[in-house]
């Protein structure tokens, strides 16, 4: 954790809305009063004295910015062997339920901080799973909004096609309060052109009865590899959903080209990383940030042993070798990945089955930090919503051998309010969140 103040969240309640709410920010989001490092020593002095637009919105709404949280360095894009929750600046974030297990990433510190009660909410960012995975394994709520609902300006980027900021919170209500404050158009981020017209009061839109009559599609093709305990918790969640009036529809076949999405996505992320990070670095203060391009960051890391002590930077090197946004391979990969995940994926499953949302376990229980054992990640629900840019919510659904597991709700573009409301109704009915034993504070109610 990187702290700028020691302000407590005592005295704040959801009844006051966001006014007075203590909030933490992932350390890839700029603030005028603190450095923004993305966990890298190359950015340790990066303090250009500006707030990201989402931070401006939080401050203007009355939120109290406590400080920055640690993250997986460069949001887990530097190496295939990167360690979730580790950065050269902040060290290793621990999972508060079991410090020998992963906090997932890349919004590791944001999720762990909310889990132990340091703040009722934090802001994370996601390209693919970086809000929902850490929220799930740390036993809290995480919401990845529709891409374009929240500004990305002055946030250290990976991909303009998939990046978004979003809330990690103790409850769905808290997440909705935060999203209401940060949503909106930003002239510097063209993706947000529709945000002002699309945003609503997300807290006011929460409906405890929203599951009654809702048709929910179970993505069975994502579930087979989970442990018996996680599968049992999911079946119990389905029982609760049915009891709340939901109609459960089984979807056994994956969308066409589903298994090819990952390869296309990888091409997109590496190509956009080089382009987008170079633009970001060029916008920083040259007296504070000497690495002005991805190539210079690679050279910096090669000369700095503290950066490569645990893993290398082969993804950075592959990104540097990409051909730019006009490269036909990139253009085709983006078109194919979006088509497969969005129109032919989430949209088609929902339309063909007359659904209001899709559901699945978010991911497995937290796996160990030991690369040599066989306790590994067993699956993830994040890819379709991440590549399509659609909303994805995770809510605690139970425990697998003492470790929290979450249930995912996802829908179509701009379905943010409905997805939050469905998760809210599930949360009220089940109340599965139990803070870790070390936490001295209970979740807000």
Nearest to 161 by CA among 123, 191, 193: 191
Given a contact cutoff of 8 angstroms between Cβ atoms, the answer to whether 169 and 180 are in contact is no
Catalytic option among 40, 72, 87, 106: 106
How would you classify residue 417: left for phi > 0, otherwise alpha for psi between -120 and 50, otherwise beta?
alpha
Contacts with 354 (C-beta within 8 Å, 6 or more apart), sequence order = 215
Rounded alpha-carbon distances, angstroms, from residue 266 to 83, 201, 273, 292, 298 = 18, 35, 10, 24, 19
Catalytic option among 26, 68, 144, 199: 26
Peptide bond into 61 cis (omega under 30): no
> Has 26 been annotated as catalytic?
yes
DSSP 25: E
Greatest CA separation for the chain:
60
Name the burial class of residue 373, with classes exposed (0-12), middle (13-18) and buried (19+) by CB atoms within 10 angstroms of its CB. Answer: exposed
Contacts with 418 (C-beta within 8 Å, 6 or more apart), sequence order = 205, 210, 356, 357, 411
CA–CA gap between residue 38 and residue 48 (Å, rounded): 14
What is the CA 129 to chain-centroid distance, rounded?
A: 5
Task: Give the DSSP letter string of 165-205.
Answer: EEEEESSHHHHHHHHHHHBS-BTTBGGGTTHHHH---TTTT
> Has 413 been annotated as catalytic?
no
Name the burial class of residue 107, with classes exposed (0-12), middle (13-18) and buried (19+) by CB atoms within 10 angstroms of its CB. Answer: buried
Catalytic option among 130, 159, 408, 444: 130
Q: Active-site residue numbers?
A: 26, 106, 130
């Amino acid at each position: 954790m990187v702290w700028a103040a020691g302000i407590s969240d005592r005295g704040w309640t959801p009844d006051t809305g966001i006014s007075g709410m203590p909030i933490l920010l992932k350390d890839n989001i700029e603030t005028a009063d603190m450095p923004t490092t993305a966990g890298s020593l190359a950015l340790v002095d990066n303090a250009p004295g500006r707030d990201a637009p989402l931070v401006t919105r939080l401050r203007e709404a009355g939120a109290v910015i406590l400080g920055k949280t640690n993250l997986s360095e460069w949001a887990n894009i530097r190496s295939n062997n990167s360690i979730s929750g580790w950065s050269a600046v902040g060290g290793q974030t621990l999972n508060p339920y079991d410090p020998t297990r992963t906090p997932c990433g890349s919004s590791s510190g944001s999720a762990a901080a909310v889990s132990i009660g340091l703040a009722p909410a934090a802001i994370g960012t996601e390209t693919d799973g970086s809000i929902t995975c850490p929220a799930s394994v740390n036993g809290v709520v995480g919401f990845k909004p529709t891409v374009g609902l929240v500004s990305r300006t002055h946030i250290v980027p990976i991909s303009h096609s998939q990046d978004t900021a979003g809330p990690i919170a103790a409850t769905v209500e808290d997440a909705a309060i935060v999203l209401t404050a940060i949503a909106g158009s930003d002239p510097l981020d063209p993706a947000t052109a529709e945000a002002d017209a699309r945003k609503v009061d997300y807290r006011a839109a929460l409906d405890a009865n929203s599951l009654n009559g809702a048709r929910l599609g179970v993505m069975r093709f994502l579930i087979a590899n989970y442990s018996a305990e996680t599968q049992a918790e999911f079946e119990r969640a389905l029982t609760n959903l049915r009891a709340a009036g939901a109609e459960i529809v089984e979807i056994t076949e994956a969308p066409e080209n589903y298994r090819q999405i990952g390869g296309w996505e990888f091409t997109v992320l590496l190509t956009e990383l080089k382009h987008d990070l170079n633009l970001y670095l060029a916008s920083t203060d040259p007296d504070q940030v000497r690495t002005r391009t991805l190539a210079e960051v690679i050279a910096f890391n090669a000369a700095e042993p503290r950066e490569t002590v645990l893993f290398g930077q082969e993804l950075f090197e592959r990104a540097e070798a990409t051909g730019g946004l006009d490269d036909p391979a990139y253009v085709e990969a983006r078109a194919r990945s979006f088509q497969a995940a969005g129109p032919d994926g989430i949209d088609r499953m929902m339309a063909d089955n007359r659904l209001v949302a899709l559901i699945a376990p978010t991911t497995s229980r937290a796996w160990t930090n030991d690369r040599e054992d066989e306790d590994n990640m067993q699956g993830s629900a994040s890819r379709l919503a991440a590549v399509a840019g659609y909303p994805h919510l995770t809510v605690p659904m139970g425990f697998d051998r003492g470790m929290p597991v979450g249930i995912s709700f996802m829908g179509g573009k701009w379905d943010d309010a409905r997805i939050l409301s469905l998760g809210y109704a599930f949360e009220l009915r089940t109340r599965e969140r139990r803070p870790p034993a070390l936490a001295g504070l209970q979740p807000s109610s």
